[in-house]
Amino acid sequence: MALEIGPDGSARPAADTGADTPGARPSGQRRRELGMRATLLFPTPEIARQYYVPLVYTACRTCYSELEPDEIFRRAVSGQVATEKQQELVRRVIESGHGSTIEHIVFTFAISGVTRTLSHQLVRHRVGVAFDQQSQRYVNYRRPAYMIPGTLDDAPPDLREQYVAEMDGAMRLYGELLAAGVPGEDARFVMPNATRTNLLMTINLRALIHVSGLRLCTMAQWEIRRLFQLIRHEVFAVSPFLGSFLAPKCVPLGYCDEAGNRDGHCPIRPHRDEVLAAWAEKRDAARRAGRELPTL
């Protein structure tokens, strides 16, 4: 059964997307929203199902077993060790933060139609992740594409028209510069943040959980948050079990640590201040009763 993380961060059965069916892909609508796409190129559902949990299980068991890793792996892949047993160990190890075990598996995504605003944020992630991005030096665009954020639909119509005119103007100037012999690497200086771009991203599971924790958070900018929702959807499609670890960081943490959410406007988890205040109340109540709560 496919699972998805709800707005409250809890896992629940997903709408029927055919996601558990080998080779099935979720409906294209969500993945193409705003012209942005994230497609999982590797692993295929077959490889994910057959090898990914056994690989992580092998990493975990190697630490505690007299058996050699290839024998542990053989038993896991052949089904001699029940999938549920493998998943239980993997979940325990991930929840305990023993992250090296999940660096053995990677996911490769084709990301297209996102803006340079998004890509600038994405490539700030440095560990356990590799990027290749369409070059504005080497590609001479016939007409660069750009994105119109949804919020502009709510803006006064003349402002939206002005936005479109400015973008079109910048892209027209880009073409004129190229036509006048200005090299692409200089003509691109007129391109706005809204310019679309394509990337290939390969990321190990440890890094993917970390980055998803930051970018699925409601404090993240909407476009990159949307991208990670699409990415989570893709991972769920090949492995609901592994996909279930992709959640806003407050979900595994149990509380929100974002200063911007001190007012508690995001209700996924209570803010750390609230948790500490509740603890202080409990401590004070204990003191009034003549007891001291043990702390280190």
Ligand X SMILES: Cc1cc2nc3c(=O)[nH]c(=O)nc-3n(C[C@H](O)[C@H](O)[C@H](O)COP(=O)(O)OP(=O)(O)OC[C@H]3O[C@@H](n4cnc5c(N)ncnc54)[C@H](O)[C@@H]3O)c2cc1C
Binding site for ligand X (CB under 6 A): 124-127, 207, 210-211, 214, 219-220
Task: Compute the least distance from the CB of residue 262 to ligand X, in Å.
Answer: 15
In whole angstroms, how large is the CA radius of gyration of the chain? 24
8 A C-beta contact, residue 228 and residue 215: yes
Q: Does 43 sit behind a cis peptide bond, omega within 30 degrees of 0 on the bond before it?
A: yes
Nearer to ligand X by Cβ, of 65 and 100: the residue is 100
Beta partners for 200? Answer: 110, 132
C-alpha span between 294 and 57 (Å, rounded): 37
Task: Compute the least distance from the CB of residue 220 to ligand X, in Å.
Answer: 5
Nearer to ligand X by Cβ, of 167 and 211: the residue is 211
Asked whether the CA dihedral 17, 108, 90, 244 is positive or negative, the reply is: negative
287 has catalytic annotation: no
Task: Compute the least distance from the CB of residue 158 to ligand X, in Å.
Answer: 31
Torsion angles phi and psi, residue 292, rounded to 5: -115, 125
Token pair listed for 7: 């707005």
Ordered alpha helix ranges (H), 96-133: 116-122
Q: Quick one: which of 249, 137, 124 has its CA closest to 185?
A: 137
Nearer to ligand X by Cβ, of 61 and 116: the residue is 116
Beta partners for 38? Answer: 111
C-alpha span between 182 and 185 (Å, rounded): 8
8 A C-beta contact, residue 36 and residue 28: no
Task: Compute the least distance from the CB of residue 210 to ligand X, in Å.
Answer: 5
Residue type, 51: Y
Nearer to ligand X by Cβ, of 187 and 209: the residue is 209
Beta partners for 203? Answer: 107, 129
Task: Compute the least distance from the CB of residue 110 to ligand X, in Å.
Answer: 20
215, 232, 269, 272: which one is catalytic?
Answer: 215
Nearer to ligand X by Cβ, of 127 and 293: the residue is 127
Enzyme catalytic residues: 215
